[in-house]
Amino acid sequence: MCTTCGCGQGETRIEGARGQEHVHDHVHADGTVHSHSHDHADPHGHGHDHGHHEHAHAYEHLHADGTMHSHDHADDHDRGHGHGHHDHRYDDLHYGRGPAGAHAPGMSQARMVQVEQDILGKNDALAADNRKRFAEHGIFAVNLVSSPGSGKTTLLVRTIEALKGRHDIVVIEGDQETSYDADRIRATGAKALQINTGKGCHLDADMVGKAVERLAPPAGSVLMIENVGNLVCPAGFDLGEAHKVVVLSVTEGEDKPLKYPDMFRRSSLMLLNKVDLLPYVEFDVAKCVEYARRVNPDIRVIEVSATKGQGMSEWFGWIEYGARTAAVARGESLDALKARLAELESQVAALKSMLP
């Protein structure tokens, strides 16, 4: 969609999905059906209006230590300029209509309409639907997030092999392209579905909901959702999972929790993977854990090596505890429903006995 940054929506493909609006099915030589929607609303031209980039106060500023920050500026900077965000002179230049930055009804025929809606409200509502479905079926859903190459898929393969026979594990794989990861999971005998996000950089609740419908994970199963390898974008999109688990490998930097705080803040567990390589790389485990706890004081950490097996039993224990909790919660809600039904039945019987 956007030729500069390469991002965009509406190009999602869920393996074998059909029946969506504006859907185009392609049958590949190997029999895989890809269906994706095209963005008809935006057929032409990629000439962006760059007016907004000539912003009065630049967001980039250089720190004393040489670090360049390009995000929203700090408080004191803002106050130093002594003007609010309403004072955007370029509005007149570029759009030539309305009083510049007018933010009051009555100055023109324009009306202000209160909206007050969360931008991610729709995704959050769909995530709540997924969460309800998981609860009703006692499914323990985990959203695995990491940067590319941290070893998520290998970790999953080893996990499925180890827990086979004890738990049904069903997998949703998110990648921009290819079904390589789902193929690797299917080779273990587990059920897996690939979602290709096309130009998208993360899975969202709608994609997962559709994938769950197709996969139909059995009651009491474990659903592993391997998100797109990206430590930024998947952080904000709730999928309805019980927990986010962030995988960080020791071949990356120990400062990643500070560089990508959103992801570490939202994760319940950090798996520090590839610890068998610690003798060969410069990675300070204690520092990494300290950084992770700075952004998330409650985060649990397990050091693992998916290939050598170190620490994996603790990770399996974490999954089994979650799966059991989900199953018990479902059992309790079933028991509560049964009790309520019995109570209603006795009330009906009492009422019937009062009839002449």
Interface with other proteins by CB under 8 A: which residues? 1-2, 4-9, 41-42, 48-49, 52-53, 55, 59, 70-72, 74-75, 78, 84-86, 88, 91, 95, 97-98, 101-103, 105, 109-123, 200-202, 204, 232-233, 235-237, 257-258, 261-262, 265, 291, 293-295, 297
287 or 308, CB closer to other proteins? 287
Shortest separation between residue 147's beta carbon and other proteins, angstroms = 15
Minimum distance of other proteins from residue 60's CB (angstroms): 9
Minimal distance in Å, beta carbon 76 to other proteins? Answer: 9
User: Pick from 283, 302, 286: which is nearest to 294 by CA?
Assistant: 286
- DSSP run (H or E) holding 13: strand 13-14
Query: Is 220 or 236 the residue whose CB approaches other proteins more closely?
Result: 236
Q: How far is the CB of 149 from other proteins (least distance, A)?
A: 19
Residue with tokens 């950089």: 201
d(CA 123, CA 102): 32
**Structural contact between residues 263 and 234, judged by C-beta atoms closer than 8 angstroms:** yes
Nearer to other proteins by Cβ, of 120 and 135: the residue is 120
What count of Cα atoms within 13 Å lies in the side-chain half-sphere of residue 54?
Answer: 8
User: In whole angstroms, how far apart are CA 281 and each of 147, 204, 287, 291?
Assistant: 18, 35, 14, 18
Question: In the complex, what is the shortest distance from the CB of residue 350 to other proteins, in angstroms, rounded to a whole number?
Answer: 48
Q: Which is nearer to other proteins, 168 or 254 (CB)?
A: 254
Residues 6+ apart with CB under 8 A from 281: 250, 251
> Which residues pair with residue 303 across a beta bridge?
272
Beta carbon of residue 171, minimum distance to other proteins (angstroms, whole number): 23
- CA nearest 204: which of 163, 164, 239? 239
What span, in angstroms and rounded, lies between the C-alpha atoms of 192 and 15?
10
User: Can you tell me the distance from the alpha carbon of 349 to that of 356, in angstroms, rounded to the nearest whole number?
Assistant: 13
Give the nearer residue to other proteins in terms of CB position, either 100 or 219. 100
Q: Are 171 and 192 in contact (CB under 8 A)?
A: yes
Q: Looking at beta carbons only, is 24 or 57 nearer to other proteins?
A: 57
CA distances from residue 257 to 160, 243, 272, 282 in whole angstroms, order as listed:
27, 17, 12, 16
Nearer to other proteins, 30 or 75 (CB): 75
Residue closer to other proteins, measured from CB, 1 or 277? 1
What is the closest distance, in whole angstroms, from the C-beta atom of residue 176 to other proteins in the complex? 12
Among the residues of 216-260, which ranges form H helices? 256-259
Inter-residue contact 203 to 237 (CB < 8 Å):
yes
CB of 123 to other proteins, least distance (A): 7
